[in-house]
Amino acid sequence: MVLKLKVLPATIGDCILISFGDQDYEKNILVDGGIGFKCIKMLKEEIRSIKEKNQYIDLLIITHVDDDHISGILKIFEDQSIDKSIIKKVWFNSGKVMSQLFREKPSGDCEIPLLLNDTTEMSLVDGISLEKALDSLGLLSEQIIKAGDSYEMFGGKFTILSPDIKKITRLYSKWEEAEAKNAEMSGGNDYSIPLDILKKKRFLADSSFHNASSIAFIFEYKNKSILMLADSIPSIVSKYLGLHNAKEKKEKSIIDVTKVAHHGSGKNTNYKILDLIDCSNFIISTDGSQNGHPNKVCLARIISSVNNNENKAHLYFNYEINNIFLEEDHRDYSFTCNDISLANYEYIVEE
């Protein structure tokens, strides 16, 4: 059995294809669609390859509505050459789905428009939206994906860690297509600061309600588990991860690989969440072109936490990002940096 994560080059975003099962027939879960020409081109090639193998995208997870996660999904649905029938199920907390939860009509326009005619401008002229596209294919579920729920599917199990109802309610009441991003080290990075200093830096939490509405989950298959954090915030994830651990009667969840929240932002990973997992492998999805991502302070917390458990931290990047670490960082801490872009953007968990 092989569990594969293909972390496509989504520039500043996320686009991750999870494949698992036996060699004769794999299941496929697509998490977000990324942004940028190269990512979208590769994503379309992956979808066509899945169809050629007579397989399906068994589950499409749209974690939240930020453009660096959803642009590729929009492009898939506007491309008439892509056979959308291979998509079997979708998790997406859309405005329409939320309005059904609250049993009222959504306030304002809750539709996310498709990018018509391959342009960069969004249009509502023809009333074409992602929700309508999903609905027309019978893929728009009434199911809200929320923290505390679990699902047994594909021979595995999903444990949902985010969002909670409070954040879903906030998103519903303030639904909008764009949000001013937090100013986060936009003037540069923190790579010149040693790990020994950064690991002690006070944590400042992400305040974005879009990020707080991210679908985050543990996926367990056979004896392997992956933690997918999208752009989630640790206050929600740590609460429900703690509840999950208590239910399972264990102090920590054993995780084979974690997709780090919000592209390695220093505002989305703290020691509280790291103390709830036993994990040495961490994937960071970003090209490093915005907001100083990955913030070295985030990586400092990860490395320090793993080292405190007497393990070596293994960091996996889907882009070549140089000069993050100093000579003294490598001398004083035990960690490796791995460029998975050189291995076709693939991270493999083998039994």
Q: What is the reported pTM? A: 0.91
Bigger pLDDT: 18 vs 126: 18
Question: Quick one: average pLDDT of 225-245?
Answer: 97
What are φ and ψ of residue 16, in 5° steps? -130, 125
Mean pLDDT, residues 298-318 taken together = 97
Q: Is the pLDDT of residue 165 over 80?
A: yes
Residue 60 pLDDT = 97
pLDDT at 120: 41
Q: Residue type for 331, please?
A: R
How many CB atoms neighbour CB 42 within 10 A? 21
With bands split at pLDDT 50, 70 and 90, how would you rate the model's confidence at 173? low
- Top CATH class of 2-350 equals alpha beta
Query: What is the Cα 128 distance to its own chain's centre?
Result: 26
Residue range 71-108, pLDDT digits in tens: 999 999 989 999 999 999 999 987 777 776 766 554 55
Out of 104-108, 224-228, 321-325, give the one with best mean pLDDT.
224-228
Please tell me the distance from the alpha carbon of residue 91 to that of residue 63, in angstroms, as a whole number: 8
**Domain residue ranges of the chain, discontinuous segments joined by +:** 2-350
